[in-house]
Amino acid sequence: MKKIMTAAVLGLAITAAGAMAADGGALFKSKGCAACHQASVDTVGPSLKKIAQAYKGKEGDLVKFLKGEAKPIVDPAKFGIMKPQLNTTKAMSDDELKAMAEFMLSH
């Protein structure tokens, strides 16, 4: 009986840890961002490489952009296409946005 209880508690702890550490790459795909942003080639949107270059060392600014609190710096002329996507990112938690920003900057 004691063993079963321990296993149950451990299982819960592991599940909670998994939910806390947001996976930036998985979020980027599940939120539909990958439809317009490829790793290294520009498609509808600029490549992740280009975004990473523009925001190098500025993860905070990138999170601000995703919250709709900062102006675009990569390709402002095409911001009209990106703007509606901010409705998705604005609804995400700070942890999720941070994880996604880290994923983008890793390119």
Binding site, annotated residues? 33, 37
Among 47, 58, 64, 73, contact with ligand HEC (rule: CB under 6 A): 73
Cβ count within 10 A of residue 63: 19
* Number of other CB atoms surrounding residue 91 within 10 Å: 9
* Residue 74 binds ligand HEC, judged by CB under 6 A: yes
Provide the minimum distance between the beta carbon of 41 and ligand HEC in the complex, in angstroms, as a whole number: 14
Nearest-Å Rg of the Cα atoms of the chain is 17
Q: Residues annotated as binding site for heme c?
A: 33, 37
Q: Which is nearer to ligand HEC, 15 or 56 (CB)?
A: 56
Give the residue, chosen from 22, 63, 99, 100, that forms a contact with ligand HEC under the rule CB under 6 A: 100
Q: Minimum Å distance from CB 76 to ligand HEC?
A: 6
Residue 18: C-alpha distances to residues 10, 21, 54, 57 (Å)? 12, 6, 31, 27
Binders of ligand HEC in range 7-66 (CB under 6 A)? 31-33, 35-37, 44-46, 51, 62, 65-66
Whether the Cβ atoms of residue 89 and residue 17 lie closer than 8 Å to each other: no
Q: Could you tell me if 68 and 86 are in contact, meaning their C-beta atoms sit under 8 angstroms apart?
A: yes
From residue 78, give the alpha-carbon distance in Å to each of 73, 75, 82. 11, 6, 7
Q: For binding to ligand HEC (CB under 6 A), which residues are involved?
A: 31-33, 35-37, 44-46, 51, 62, 65-66, 72-76, 78-79, 81-82, 85, 88-89, 100
